Structure 1
Amino acid sequence: MTRPYELVVLSASSSDELAAAARGLARFLAGRPSLPLAAVAGSLVHDRPRLPHRLALVARDCADAARRLQAPAARETHIGHATTAERPLAFLFPGVGDHYAGMAAGLYRSEPLFRSALDHCAEVLINQLGRDLREILYPENGEAAPPADGPHGRLDLARLLGRDERSGELDRTATAQPLVFAVEYALARFLMGAGIRPTALAGYSLGEYVAACAAEVLAPEDALELVARRAKLIETAPEGAMVAVMLGADHLADHLDGELSLSAADGPRLSVVGGRITAVERLERRLAAEGVASLRLPTRHAFHTAMLEPFEEGMRELAAGFPLRPPTIPLLSNVTGTWLTEVQATSPEYWAQHMSRTVRFEDELAELWRLPAPILVEVGAGRTLGTLVQQHPGRRPDGTILSTLPTTAARDSDVAGVLTALGRLWVEGVDVNWPALFPDGPRERLPHFVFEGDQTETKR
């Protein structure tokens, strides 16, 4: 399988040497537009030493790479100084919402590890879904319908929490939740196969199940079945409503009654409340009278509210049917907002409560921002979690926030997004398993003069 994009990296012992190497490589590539970029990219990671001053870019071909090397200040080119200190690295898994037909199709076409992981998930889920999720995710006509969520960075909290109101089978809760789990799990497997080993994990709503699987609390096959059966259970819940409110959780306490629950605490001025429709309508009138901005979310169910408590027993029975193990990687909890304990991880009661309790993501982010110079990678479609991370008051100036899959469908752009994230991680000093990305090894021996920036080919 060939990639539509390639990751090109350079390193040097000083910034001047790096700039010279970039100029030399740009001239070399510009003069050989027909040379396969994969051959050059593979040689760069196998033949060149790993030095602290680094550059990474993603390009389609040699001409594209040459153009980007000639403009190193461009947004697409990343330059930095890798430190020797090991930095904490966290994977953040979104909930349902930013998914779309064709999601990660480029990765599925070009990356064997991603493809094999997603294929395995699809085969495990056939009995639960009654069909192959690949037929839903990658329809035969190849059309990728973008989600109706507006520009990048907009917070669509209804979708993040698990909305099931977009039309079509792709967006039914019973389909969307296992489908999103499968893609995020396959993406995590790909990143980990490329040498990116997280030291912490967090997930939003459904995303906590992907995090738990990555932490080996659940085996992949068990997690897939549990997520699919959980989604079917949620679909039987009565109708409810949810509203996003521009107030922090503390300021909402006086607004909640027995018919309303705090569904999510996402920031000091951002919360979600859910409950029965009439109760939500009363809250909206009260907020409007007080001049507080709110937005009704287009959901049929009140996720993470007391309305789902009657279903906890069913969820408890489901979770009790699967082996639950202590996490092998520290994992944050939606329920408590802090690190998941071994007792919680292995308790069916915890996973039953997870369905109806508040998503305390603001507190989880506070824990992550307490880590020294953390690198936070959103492993899934969109930038919703990254936006919450950026807006958190505890954000550290020495932290790094990265996305992977795009928000909307664009052919092969997911390959560029994931390779860009890998390049950024390498520039930040994270070790990458280059043989996994370039298994064929160096295929184009680059002459030494290429990296002597101001020299000419007559020195060959």
Structure 2
Amino acid sequence: MENNIRKKDIAIVGISGKYPKSDNINEFWKHLMNGEELVHFYSDDELRAAGVTEKELANPDLIKAQASLEDPNSFDYSFFGYTRQEAMSMDPQVRMMHELVWLGLEDAGYNPKTYKDKIGLYLSASDNMNWRAYTMITNNDNVNSFYLNQISNKNFISTLISYNMNLRGPSYYVDTACSSSLVGIHQACRSLLMRECSIAIAGGVRVYSKVYKGHQYQEGMTNSKDGHCKAFDEDSSGIVSGEGAGVAVLKRLEDAIADKDQIYAVIRASVVNNDGNRKVGYTAPSISGQYECIKQAQQIADATPESITYIEAHGTGTKLGDPIEVEALNKSFEYNTNHHCALGSVKTNIGHLDSAAGITGFLKTTLALKNKMLPPSLHFKNPNPEINFKSGPFKVQTELSAWTSKDNQPLRAGVSSFGIGGNNAHVILQEAPLKEEIAENNSYKLLRFSAQSVGALNAYQERLTSFLEENEKDNFQDMAYTLQVGRNQFKYNRFLVSNSRENAIETLKDPLSKSVYSGKLSQKRKIVFMCTGSGAQYLNMGKNLYEKEPYFKELIDKGFSIIKTLTGVDVTKVLYGENAGAEKNTDINKNEFTQPIVFVFEYALAKLMMRWGITPDKLIGHSTGEYVAACLSEVFSFETGVKLVAKRALLMNKTPGGSMLSVSLSEEKIKTYLNDQVSLAVVNSPESCVLSGTDSAIEALIEILETEEILCSKLRISLGGHSFLMDSVLEEFRQELEKVEFSAPKIPFVSNLTGQLINSEEAVSTQYWVDHLRHTVRFSDGLATLLKDSDSIFIEVGPGNTLTTLFQQQKHDETSNNTAINLVRHPKQEINDQEHLCQKLGELWMNGIDINWETYYGEQKPYRVSMPGYVFNKTKLPVKVNPFAFLNFSGSEEGAIAAPLTTEDYDDSEAFQEDLEDNAVSFVNYVPPSNETEEKLVEMWKSFFSKDEIGVLHDFFALGGNSLKGVTMLKLIQKRFDIEIKIKDFYQKSTIKELAAEIDMGLKLVTLQEESTYKSVMTI
């Protein structure tokens, strides 16, 4: 198939929708393919309950049909940071579009919270005067009147959502009546081509706020006489009204291809025009206007009429509209009777959706192109005799059929939408270009997902499991990648590591699986890299990483090449060679190999982490590991570091033989065992030290310690590091160090000699590094220094878990939130290196560490694919209202005016409500109120934010407050306490504790002023 890609082409990269009997766009597509009508025909009892009188029910012209949404009243207000009171006043259409815009971006594989470029928004919504009247007449003291005017008004739909999601591109409300949402598509395309944004979202919504009571059929008007929309049929009589909403996410095609986005279809052209007065009346359609719009679109698309094989028509089923539309199409297609073009209208399935009509036909056609299937247009039996089908290529699509191309040309379609007043819109769509398929591999992938509540997290796991079971054709790595880059992180997190779709399904379905990890999100932490010293090395350490991670291998090879130049030995064979796995091979433990191998390995691993966005704020090394820390801090170059460590190792080999012994004693208690033959080499933890000495002295000491039942263990090192045994090579090492060009550290790291952060003078001093070889490594003191910062994550960038264990042996403050993670498996762990690392990346993610997944995949970047969207909390809110019931227009006994907005009237009976109090991401510990003022404020905030647990340290703005909410809350506080507080003071003292103190001080001043006035009066 020829792709014919042009710079002005636009890709459809994400979609979402909610329609009658269809909770999502995929369910809607299934209904369309099955040829289902989604119109609901109301029973008399249903209409009686809505207030329809017996007299009205007896009227034969009362048509009891509408394509209604099943749950238009559900909205996860806390997900978007609104209070319940605000959500109850918000236009139901605005509520719904919050969720659909979010889901559309998720479907495209983009996270609005982390996307760095501009996203534009072009939305339409239907008339909502009924809702506006309801919110203005009813009483809602918890919402500022100025803010109420915005959230209850459809005109603010785009800017409200742009503000909520931080979308920084153009934000338009589009209203051209029935063609609004297709005009929105046109505007979105223009903004992309003008480079006003990199992603553009267009859509439309219609949700009725009026209680449905049927519609009256009137001959010659647009409403159907039987509740069916029979486009193009001789028995057609007009439209039936419907509810629904849809969203499309767009990008420039060239960008979408470069970014490996999923592409549903391509927009080749979009055109909007107006009929002018070339018609019988303002509301009538025009052949000329429609023809000019369609023809111009074909010209801009470089699409001959013969290349277009489907038209999604405006297709209202009216006696006047259908014949005019087909005649305009015939003219646009040059009355070519040799060509065949299918014709359909989604209004036959769901009726007319007004502002959402254009986007609905657009989405139907988009999915038809993606699936290469043409769904049937319903209720067509015999053509309307007024329609000139004989003079053109059009035939109504009456059955589901495969959509095939001719002569290897791409499939193309046209979508029309025409608005009352003459605004016409036409879009030319083309099937997506072929993408380069990436072969599936068996590498391990991290599947992660997140939610604002435990219930939503569990529900998403079920949905993800079903999706994996149903989608065998999608690349598993693409799925993992999409979840990594295209989803926001919330309070509750879960992940698993798997190398196949089948294994992932099995793991997710096992409720007792230990391979699914769950945890709460920690606030963003400082990162400390811990660089392991000699002694932790083992054969084949990180071999799977060496084979799978090109950047890691590149640095390893570079370092080992330097070592080979210095020593003549290829240490790659020592670590990963044919004999590397042999038990007899002990070369890895020879000091001349151990130190440089460990240095290169840890440096490569640390740089790999930094490449993936995991950058240390501080560093600490253990003996040789401090050279890694210094090199990462750019005290010296990588090449210099390799040479220096290799030379250091060779010099140490020239020292008299010795041994090192680990002893489970504190530094204070071990001093009694020190003498001129035994030195304190390392203080590892409060209860663990390492001694160095001559072989005979160490052997004698072992006998003493065993007699005293003190745990000790001889290290696999044949020299006495950090002791008097190093004295003979210190001068020669000094000479080597004097050749080095040192620089001040760029990342703070801890000195082994002092246990404190090293200063620039020490780091660049030759004497410092000489002393480092000779004197005690005070690693325990160094960790204690770093642990003073109570919210850090310590990452061991070396083999095994030696330093992670020492971290755990430290004394930790009870309030500390520090944790440690080792990136490389212990030699006794039977797990793939890559699988282990993926697990650790998952743990880092749950600890609030951002990972750059783009660099993680490098040149092997996967595609974004459609994955299940967020499972929103189904909270019930008012939708169908009658603010004018007291006027009793219909003569029915409906009662008085609608009651004030209250929480009692709408019970949250759906899933997840038990987790609602967890929905606000707050990292503040709960502290209860300690006085009456604090108690009153806590109760006020609980009611205002609809949350059960609020303490005195919670911040008004962190809980979801903003400037307008602040004004409302301030008025409530002033009314409750009868005291004036300036708005500036409220913003600066926004926790309950601070605010209560301000109120108490103000009340005290008022009392003193009153007493002073009283005394003055008494004196007079």
What TM-score bracket applies, with the shorter chain setting the length? 0.7 to 0.9
**187-196 or 30-39: which moved more?**
30-39
**19-28 or 445-454: which moved more?**
445-454
Question: Aligned with 1:91: secondary structure?
Answer: strand
Q: Which residue of 2 aligns with 1:45?
A: 484
Q: Which residue of 1 aligns with 2:581?
A: 144
Whole-angstrom CA distance in 1 between matches of 2:511 and 2:774:
49
Question: Aligned with 1:408: secondary structure?
Answer: coil
**32-41 or 209-218: which moved more?**
32-41
Query: Which of 534, 541, 564 is matched with 1:126 structurally?
Result: 564
Whole-angstrom CA distance in 1 between matches of 2:741 and 2:820:
34
**405-414 or 360-369: which moved more?**
405-414
Whole-angstrom CA distance in 2 between matches of 1:268 and 1:182:
30
User: Which fold has the larger relative contact order, with Cα–Cα distance below 8 Å and residues 6 or more apart in sequence?
Assistant: 1
Whole-angstrom CA distance in 1 between matches of 2:514 and 2:608:
25
Q: Which residue of 1 aligns with 2:727?
A: 309
Q: Which residue of 2 aligns with 1:437?
A: 856
CA change 1:336–1:28 in 2 (3 A) is same
Q: Which residue of 2 aligns with 1:406?
A: 825
| Cα displacement (A) at 1:48 | 2.4
Question: Are positions 1:63 and 2:502 aligned together?
Answer: yes
Question: Aligned with 2:623: secondary structure?
Answer: coil
Q: Which residue of 2 aligns with 1:149?
A: none
Please say if residues 528 and 795 of structure 2, whose CA atoms lie closer than 8 Å, have aligned partners that are also in contact: yes
CA change 1:418–1:291 in 2 (3 A) is closer
Q: Which residue of 2 aligns with 1:98?
A: 536
User: Which amino acid is 2:821 matched to?
Assistant: L
Query: Which of 809, 825, 834 is matched with 1:415 structurally?
Result: 834
Question: Are positions 1:235 and 2:691 aligned together?
Answer: no
CA displacement, residues 33-92 of structure 1 (integer Å, 9 cap, x when unaligned)? 564321111121233233343222211111222233334764433323324x43111111
CA change 1:113–1:13 in 2 (3 A) is same
Please say if residues 178 and 227 of structure 1, whose CA atoms lie closer than 8 Å, have aligned partners that are also in contact: yes
User: Which amino acid is 2:819 matched to?
Assistant: T
Question: Aligned with 1:78: secondary structure?
Answer: strand
Please say if residues 145 and 409 of structure 1, whose CA atoms lie closer than 8 Å, have aligned partners that are also in contact: no
CA displacement, residues 267-310 of structure 1 (integer Å, 9 cap, x when unaligned)? 22221222123333443454455554434445421111111122
Please say if residues 21 and 453 of structure 1, whose CA atoms lie closer than 8 Å, have aligned partners that are also in contact: no
Query: Which of 846, 858, 869 is matched with 1:427 structurally?
Result: 846
| Cα displacement (A) at 1:332 | 1.0
Query: Rg bigger for which structure?
Result: 2
Please say if residues 734 and 766 of structure 2, whose CA atoms lie closer than 8 Å, have aligned partners that are also in contact: yes
CA displacement, residues 289-346 of structure 1 (integer Å, 9 cap, x when unaligned)? 5554434445421111111122211221111211111111111111112211111110
Q: Which residue of 2 aligns with 1:203?
A: 621
Alignment of 1:246-261 (within 5 A): 246-261=664-679
Alignment of 1:286-435 (within 5 A): 286-288=704-706, 290-394=708-812, 397-408=816-827, 413-435=832-854
Whole-angstrom CA distance in 1 between matches of 2:474 and 2:572:
34
| Cα displacement (A) at 1:407 | 1.7
CA change 1:36–1:257 in 2 (3 A) is same
Q: Which residue of 1 aligns with 2:611?
A: 193
Question: Aligned with 1:96: secondary structure?
Answer: coil
Query: Which of 866, 877, 899 is matched with 1:446 structurally?
Result: 866
CA displacement, residues 364-411 of structure 1 (integer Å, 9 cap, x when unaligned)? 121122112221111111111111111112366522211111122778
CA change 1:299–1:445 in 2 (3 A) is closer
User: Which amino acid is 1:123 matched to?
Assistant: S
Whole-angstrom CA distance in 2 between matches of 1:409 and 1:102:
12
Question: Are positions 1:36 and 2:475 aligned together?
Answer: yes
Whole-angstrom CA distance in 2 between matches of 1:186 and 1:290:
43
Question: Aligned with 1:274: secondary structure?
Answer: strand
Whole-angstrom CA distance in 1 between matches of 2:481 and 2:695:
58
Whole-angstrom CA distance in 2 between matches of 1:253 and 1:444:
61
Whole-angstrom CA distance in 1 between matches of 2:718 and 2:572:
26
| Contiguous gaps of at least 5 residues in structure 1 | 147-165, 455-460
CA change 1:6–1:290 in 2 (3 A) is closer
CA displacement, residues 221-265 of structure 1 (integer Å, 9 cap, x when unaligned)? 100010111110011111123322222111122321222210111
**427-436 or 24-33: which moved more?**
24-33
Please say if residues 635 and 744 of structure 2, whose CA atoms lie closer than 8 Å, have aligned partners that are also in contact: yes
Whole-angstrom CA distance in 2 between matches of 1:5 and 1:395:
37
Whole-angstrom CA distance in 2 between matches of 1:58 and 1:428:
17
Please say if residues 100 and 409 of structure 1, whose CA atoms lie closer than 8 Å, have aligned partners that are also in contact: no
Bigger share in helix: 1
Please say if residues 25 and 451 of structure 1, whose CA atoms lie closer than 8 Å, have aligned partners that are also in contact: no
| Cα displacement (A) at 1:3 | 5.9
Whole-angstrom CA distance in 2 between matches of 1:409 and 1:288:
26
Please say if residues 23 and 453 of structure 1, whose CA atoms lie closer than 8 Å, have aligned partners that are also in contact: no
Q: Which residue of 2 aligns with 1:276?
A: 694
Question: Aligned with 1:261: secondary structure?
Answer: strand
Structure 1-normalised TM-score? Answer: 0.87
Q: Which residue of 1 aligns with 2:591?
A: 173
Please say if residues 722 and 773 of structure 2, whose CA atoms lie closer than 8 Å, have aligned partners that are also in contact: yes
CA change 1:328–1:72 in 2 (3 A) is farther
Q: Which residue of 1 aligns with 2:663?
A: 245
Question: Are positions 1:23 and 2:442 aligned together?
Answer: no
Please say if residues 59 and 65 of structure 1, whose CA atoms lie closer than 8 Å, have aligned partners that are also in contact: yes
| Cα displacement (A) at 1:199 | 0.8
**88-97 or 250-259: which moved more?**
250-259
| Cα displacement (A) at 1:348 | 1.1
Whole-angstrom CA distance in 2 between matches of 1:72 and 1:341:
52
CA change 1:296–1:224 in 2 (3 A) is closer
Question: Aligned with 1:55: secondary structure?
Answer: strand
Please say if residues 686 and 809 of structure 2, whose CA atoms lie closer than 8 Å, have aligned partners that are also in contact: no
Please say if residues 242 and 280 of structure 1, whose CA atoms lie closer than 8 Å, have aligned partners that are also in contact: yes
Please say if residues 36 and 61 of structure 1, whose CA atoms lie closer than 8 Å, have aligned partners that are also in contact: no
Please say if residues 496 and 516 of structure 2, whose CA atoms lie closer than 8 Å, have aligned partners that are also in contact: yes
Query: Which of 529, 537, 554 is matched with 1:116 structurally?
Result: 554
User: Which amino acid is 1:135 matched to?
Assistant: K
Question: Aligned with 2:613: secondary structure?
Answer: coil
Whole-angstrom CA distance in 2 between matches of 1:400 and 1:71:
28
| Cα displacement (A) at 1:114 | 1.0
Question: Aligned with 2:689: secondary structure?
Answer: strand
Question: Aligned with 1:438: secondary structure?
Answer: helix
User: Which amino acid is 1:242 matched to?
Assistant: M
CA change 1:9–1:177 in 2 (3 A) is same
User: Which amino acid is 1:445 matched to?
Assistant: V
Please say if residues 216 and 328 of structure 1, whose CA atoms lie closer than 8 Å, have aligned partners that are also in contact: yes
Please say if residues 389 and 395 of structure 1, whose CA atoms lie closer than 8 Å, have aligned partners that are also in contact: no
User: Which amino acid is 1:120 matched to?
Assistant: K
| Contiguous gaps of at least 5 residues in structure 2 | 1-438, 875-1020
Whole-angstrom CA distance in 1 between matches of 2:705 and 2:861:
62
Q: Which residue of 2 aligns with 1:160?
A: none
CA change 1:96–1:112 in 2 (3 A) is same
Question: Aligned with 2:449: secondary structure?
Answer: strand
| Cα displacement (A) at 1:202 | 0.9
| Cα displacement (A) at 1:175 | 1.2
User: Which amino acid is 1:110 matched to?
Assistant: K
Q: Which residue of 2 aligns with 1:152?
A: none
Query: Which of 443, 446, 460 is matched with 1:4 structurally?
Result: 443
Whole-angstrom CA distance in 1 between matches of 2:713 and 2:481:
50
